[in-house]
Structure 1
Amino acid sequence: RISVELRKYRKDIYLLYSSFKGGADGKIVNVDKRQNMLARKKVWITAGALLVALGIGLYASNRFFHPKRNEQSIQQGKQQDISGNAAKQSATQPPKPAFSDAWRIVGTARFGTTSYVVIADEAGRLRYESPSMFVQMGPQTIGEIDGAKVTRYSGAVIHPVHIEGKK
């Protein structure tokens, strides 16, 4: 089916609908354009609206991905290029902190209702820090202590202390 619509016959062409009276001797007569989808105004209006929407969408996406620079920003860009590298160096962000060579996370401690992250240095000295200075918990825990990033894998390896006793 192409469509389901109720239509009324026009009286002036109603007689043509009996074109097959008498069997095979009847002639096929093209009565009107109702069987042709392309003859409907509704189809052409919908197609036109879709083409307009497609054109607007292409224009908007092109403008989004290729914005026009106005003349003021171009002139300001030229002035910044002339000023040299001094302005560029002052505008750069400070370098991100490196990983700590001294401290590493060795675990967590809880005293009553207060929690701490325990960090240690190569000599085995322990330091208790607030968990608010760290992001995440578990093997991926990372924090910033003394201007350096501290993780479970940063810092020097803690050497076990050997205590000699009686044998």
Structure 2
Amino acid sequence: MAHGQLVRSTVTEVGLHVVASLTVAALCLLANRMPFIAGAGAAILIAGGMVTLRPLLTALALQIAAFGLFALAAVLVGGAVLPSGTELGQFAALFMLAWLAGFVIPVAPGGLGVREAAFLALAGNEMPATSLLAAVLALRVASLAGDLTYGLGIMAVTRSKTTELPFRTA
């Protein structure tokens, strides 16, 4: 791949991540007040992107769907750890913004530390600190477990598709 193609590909990927994560954060905030509208909006965005013949819009739709699952994980963790009455849509939106902060900082692998610090800073005094810290750490563990599961799955699929070499390598 030529250098120019690599740069364009990287910029496109970063752009997709930024747009998709901000879109999902906005949908999460909307879901607190108008869940039907937020759900319908998400469905229209994803379906619209999938039926188009434009690869970039399809990629964006898939990113929105994937980040929607991230937000759902945040809602599930928040619902289990945070006190009742916490606005889980707001919690999920904060998670998406914190995830984005961790993504755009290149020196932190996987946004390690950056995501957590951003999450705590964004939440401020809106949520109890102890519960919030527990939720943030639970989300990090869930993220690591998801990455590990995905990586092991890819390794298993890749190994099952490799063939024997017709000659000895040793």
Higher RCO, Cα 8 Å, sep 6+ = 2
**Structure having the larger proportion of residues in strand:** 1
TM-score by length of 1: 0.23
Larger Rg: 1 or 2? 1
TM-score by length of 2: 0.22
**Structure having the larger proportion of residues in helix:** 2
